[in-house]
């Protein structure tokens, strides 16, 4: 599948990845050279004391060629509380990716753009025209995405997927394989992972985000987990709209390779 290249730059290979706990340094601490850092800013679940949990999702990605904000949660005041407590500088954000047009992923966008309009906002092409108009009124650039695209070095979007609810996911290359970050996975998480492998022909080291499985039966979950295994997914972190019982099944299936999430969760991995 052909990928449209927008941006390019170099990076360095880092040491082994780390999953940082609730007492570890906030996101504002100096990022070691050659390291990717993922900081969960908005989630249904609480991970770091002092942050606030709420229905929605947002994740900051640092260490890529461009600093990326993936989704913006539901309530601006909760997003900004967590941003402040975690020491995140929103002015460092250069790209914003919106997974789909639901308020629990777009709710904090205006507040972010008021702090930092010098960004490009990538959104599915099916978004209503007024979304782009609002972004431009806040002096940011809006970029619609229909097909897979590389938005900076080794960082790709799946392009919009699905029928009734169009959605895109984020793919990041690492030395161990790709990391896939999802908003709600309305098009189906296994289908998203298959698309990710088509775009970047590398093993899936980690997938995390909302999987939208809160109505899935145990039998359906077994089929989905089997799909993960057949695709060679090494590590998994399910949150947001996945469902408590369904998250428990992922935890059991992946064991020590399950990654717990929640507000304030920091994951550090080697960068390419």
Whole-model pTM: value is: 0.91
- Domains by residue range for the chain, with CATH: 33-267 (3.60.15.10)
Residue 12 above 70 pLDDT? no
What integer pLDDT is reported at residue 30 of this predicted model? 80
Residue 90 above 70 pLDDT? yes
pLDDT range class, residue 52, cuts 50, 70, 90: very high
**Residues 130-142: pLDDT tens digits?**
999 999 999 999 9
Residue 80 above 70 pLDDT? yes
Kindly report the three-state secondary structure assignment for every residue of the chain: CCCEECCCCCCCCCCCCEEECCCCCCCCCCCCCCEEEEEEEECCCECCCCCCCCCCCEEEEECCCCCEEECCCCCHHHHHHHHHHCCCCHHHCCEEECCCCCHHHHCCHHHHHHHCCCCEEEEECCCCHHHHHHHHHCCCEEEEECCCEEEECCEEECCCECCCCCECCEEEEECCEEEEEECCCCCCHHHHHHHHHHHCCCCEEEEEEECCCCCCCHHHHHHHHHHHHHCCCCEEEEEHHHCHHHHHHHHHHHHHHECCCCECCEEEEECC
Residue 9 above 90 pLDDT? no
């Amino acid at each position: 599948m052909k990928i449209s290249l927008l941006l390019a730059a170099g990076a360095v290979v880092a040491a082994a990845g780390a999953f940082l706990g609730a007492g570890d340094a906030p996101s504002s601490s100096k990022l070691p050279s050659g390291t990717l850092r993922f900081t969960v800013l908005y989630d249904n679940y609480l991970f770091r004391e002092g942050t606030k949990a709420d229905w929605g999702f947002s994740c900051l990605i640092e260490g890529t060629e461009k600093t990326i904000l993936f989704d913006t949660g539901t309530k601006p005041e909760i997003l900004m509380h967590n941003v402040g407590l975690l020491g995140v500088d929103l002015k460092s954000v250069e790209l914003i990716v919106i997974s789909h047009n639901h308020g629990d992923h777009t709710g904090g966008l205006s507040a972010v753009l008021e702090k930092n309009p010098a960004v490009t906002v990538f959104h599915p092409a099916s978004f209503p025209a007024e979304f782009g108009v609002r972004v431009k009124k806040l002096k940011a650039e809006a970029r619609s995405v229909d097909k897979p695209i590389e938005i900076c070095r080794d960082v790709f979007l799946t392009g919009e997927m699905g029928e009734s609810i169009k959605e895109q996911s984020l793919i990041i290359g690492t030395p161990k394989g790709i990391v896939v970050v999802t908003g709600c996975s309305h098009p189906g998480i296994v289908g998203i992972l298959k698309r990710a492998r088509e775009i970047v022909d590398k093993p899936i080291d980690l997938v995390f985000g909302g999987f939208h499985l809160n109505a899935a039966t145990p039998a359906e979950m077994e089929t989905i987990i089997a799909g993960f295994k057949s695709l060679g997914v090494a590590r998994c972190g399910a949150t947001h709209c996945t469902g408590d019982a369904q998250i428990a099944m992922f935890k059991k299936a992946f064991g020590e390779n399950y990654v717990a999430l929640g507000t304030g969760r920091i994951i550090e991995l080697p960068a390419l």
